[in-house]
Structure 1
């Protein structure tokens, strides 16, 4: 079956219900225009990002703020490459398999499974949040199973675009409130400005934090999703992708800077706790704000875990030679299988190692940032040069982004290993 016919028969429902209510058509158009950016932003701004940002602020104050604008520039460059592949309808996974006739399928499947580490950590946090929220539950492992069941239900209902938008709206509203907290805090703006100046230190925890921030903000599964989305979006104008990407990336990093700055001022140095990032909200707004924070953390975990696996939903069928589109049978089966695998994997890690949900939320993005991200970046550079006549100055920008991430990976891999060994 051709890509075009597959798209016509299996592309996800874009319900017309919103069009019959006041303002519904406006909402529908906004979701069509920015829905992909919402998906990417929700994938990035999961619970893992919240805990990484809060932990970084609490333990390193403002000294790592410089990573966020760097992440924005790198992310824009990489999304521009994957957008070009989307316009050409040339999925990145197809390119990797074609460019590596021996071992290409293994590479794609391998990094697909690595992306599931995000889902493992997100379902662990979701289970912990659910155990905290539900009176009498008090069992993280049961919470993980319930959270995974919710993720599977969302995928099987085939209305993820609308559910994602609703979850993202609440999550962004809750975490945007950190920006309002800044109004009432005494911000040392000189220290904030100093934190925007790039600085590398040899300390193990510092380097791990750098790669964790890059790994959780420059979210490589999004590039596989975008390069495969043309049959669903049917956009042939690259500026539509650029507008969508810029809105989503800017939103997540602005909110992320709010969380990091507030945490730097209000949280004390030490081990991050489940409720830690929500304590500034509770201190100012009352305990109910902590409940709202935990609900947002739960929802963010569900949406990020599920949305992240959408990348693998494209990648694994494509690596096996199948044309797949968002929401078709091969896509859903892959995502559901990886949700189940992620939940199953999270249970023994929590039960048998020194990792807790928060440690997992911080370490898993760092692992992906150190390994999966550089592989994806250089695959993107190769793919966009095959299918496009790339200008020399564009290649310089793309290669600069790639070498920045590769250098970050090489510099921090030992730090990451030692951090993991210390937790174990």
Structure 2
């Protein structure tokens, strides 16, 4: 029997209803706006001012189109993984899915590295990034073992709100140059290596391909039969993500100086406004964002890997949890190794890992979505033209930025 609180429509009921209506969008927003996004956006604002603001509305249009396709698959109960495995010959489909699942862990590698560094900075006497990563990954495993979807939605919602609030504070008292912001919304391309790397990093961190695998598989959990319900939920999540992103980029463009971004760099404007203690607020927010993004991103792999071997997995079942936990462990070990054996720092990982995903896995996902939605749903010619333009933009983006990204990675290694 429902509790009295729910019967009278109390606060708990309203929160539950809100998460039921928009929790999936919140989950997607939390996946996107992890610590990696904070540092990519801050680095872009500091080094290119407002020049790359135009990438955010482009990302919005791409995200809307791709979420629309994956929502149609969710309503049809046709996971994207099934289409890829059925379409490719022999075991090649399974190999592609496993490779993409491992690539999705690149985000977790970066996020756990940032979380470990944040813990080492925040906790007196810790001063050890490796121990911080171990603690952060342990919390990630604990989140997975909650098992109940609504609880994870609620936890992630709190984390996203915390991050959003911290950047809302950054805007207080700033003199925003409206003309420069408007000029930054005009698309422009340059041949500069850093500029091109920043574009693919921004697209990789805002157009988050694991979310499309999650959404195409979430039908049995959400039990939504109307595509419009998904569209409303998706729009809320995407708008939240890109609004936060615009805030971070604008604040960084105004307050940060050109040069490499440091662990505390994006929080320095907050400290200037509210005092040095505000750095703790920023790093705590970055820590929470790392937990949510690192873990939530791997939910895509939690569906993908079992589905590749013919299992009709549901959110939080045994195979789902086993896959996610295995990739969390892999991410922590990989973060240990990269920090010990390369020139990559946690912040550099946060910038490079989304860029690699944007270069390789995102175009593959887009092409698969177009094929799957045409196979399982009725798609108009106008819609296919729009979807084709999205694919073209991303493919051209991959082609034009591949060399610059490789140059950036080799320079940092």
TM range (shorter): over 0.9
Task: Describe the superposition over 1:203-259 as per-residue Cα deviations: whole angstroms up to 9, x where unpaired.
Answer: 000000000000000000000000000000000100000000000000110111011
CA distance in 2 between partners of 1:18 and 1:159 (Å): 21
User: Counterpart of 1:66?
Assistant: 54
Q: What CA distance in whole angstroms lies between the structure 2 residues aligned with 1:391 and 1:176?
A: 41
User: Offset at 1:154?
Assistant: 1.1
Q: 2:220 aligns with which of 219, 225, 231?
A: 231
Aligned to 1:316: 305
The 1:122/1:160 distance shift into structure 2, 3 A limit, reads: farther
Check if 1:244 corresponds to 2:233.
Answer: yes
TM alignment of 1:108-127, pairs within 5 A: 108-127=97-116
The answer for the alignment partner of 1:4 in structure 2 is: none
Offset from partner CA, 1:152-194 (integer Å, 9 cap, x none): 1111121454244334334334434434543411211111111
Q: 1:45 aligns with which of 26, 33, 38?
A: 33
Structure-2 separation of matches of 1:186 and 1:42: 29
Identify if the C-alpha distance between structure 1 residues 19 and 154 changes in structure 2 by more than 3 Å, giving closer, same or farther.
Answer: farther
* 1:96 equivalenced with 2:77 (yes/no): no
- Cα distance in 2, alignment partners of residues 350 and 367 from structure 1: 18
Is the contact between residue 115 and residue 136 of structure 2 (CA under 8 Å) also seen in structure 1?
yes
Aligned-residue offset at 1:313? 0.3
Which residue does the alignment assign to 1:85? 73
Which of 206-215 and 290-299 deviates more?
290-299
Structure 2 Cα separation of the partners of residues 313 and 16 of structure 1: 33
1:81-230 equivalence runs, <5 A: 81-102=69-90, 103-159=92-148, 161-230=150-219
Can you list the C-alpha shifts for 1:291-348, whole angstroms capped at 9, x where unaligned? 1111110110011000000000000000011110101000000000000011011101
What stretches of structure 1 of length at least 5 have no aligned partner? Answer: 1-14
| Secondary structure of the structure 2 residue equivalent to 1:132 | helix
Q: Which moved more, 1:194-203 or 1:17-26?
A: 17-26
Displacement over 6 Å in runs of 4+:
15-18
CA 1:16 to 1:214, structure 2 compared with 1: closer, same or farther past 3 Å?
farther
Task: State the aligned residue count.
Answer: 410
Q: Which residue, 257, 260, 273 being the options, matches 1:271?
A: 260
Equivalents in 1 of 2:153, 2:278: separation in Å? Answer: 22
Partner of 1:323, secondary structure, is: coil
- After superposition, give the CA deviation of every residue in 1:79-121 in whole Å (9 maximum; x if it has no partner): 0000000000000000000011231111111111111100110
Other-structure match for 1:298 = 287
Q: Is the 8 A contact 1:164 1:303 kept in 2?
A: no
Q: CA deviation at 1:23?
A: 1.2
Offset of residue 288 of structure 1: 2.4
What is the CA-CA distance between 1:133 and the residue it aligns to? Answer: 0.8
Query: In 1, are the aligned partners of 2:35 and 2:286 still within 8 Å (CA)?
Result: yes
Task: Decide whether the 8 Å contact of 1:86 with 1:227 is kept in 2.
Answer: yes
Q: Which residue of 2 aligns with 1:30?
A: 18
2:204–2:354 CA contact under 8 A, matched in 1:
yes
- For residue 17 of structure 1, report the CA deviation from its aligned partner: 11
Range moving further from structure 2, 17-26 or 238-247: 17-26
- Go from structure 1 to structure 2 and tell me whether the alpha carbon gap of 1:359 and 1:410 turns closer, same or farther (over 3 Å shift): same
Structure 2: runs of 5 or more not aligned: none
Determine the structure 1 residue equivalent to 2:339: 350
2: CA distance between counterparts of 1:174 and 1:18?
A: 29
Q: Which of 330, 344, 349 is equivalent to 1:341? A: 330
Distance 2:206 2:168 in 1: 19
**Residues 311 and 76 (structure 1), Cα distance of their counterparts in 2 relative to 1, 3 Å cut:** same
Quote the Cα distance in structure 2 between the aligned partners of 1:136 and 1:372: 40
130-139 or 173-182: bigger deviation: 173-182
Q: State the alpha-carbon separation in 1 of the partners of residues 157 and 281 from structure 2.
A: 14
Distance 1:17 1:203, change over 3 A: farther
Instruction: Name the Cα RMSD after superposition.
Output: 1.5
CA contact (8 A) 2:46 2:252 kept: yes
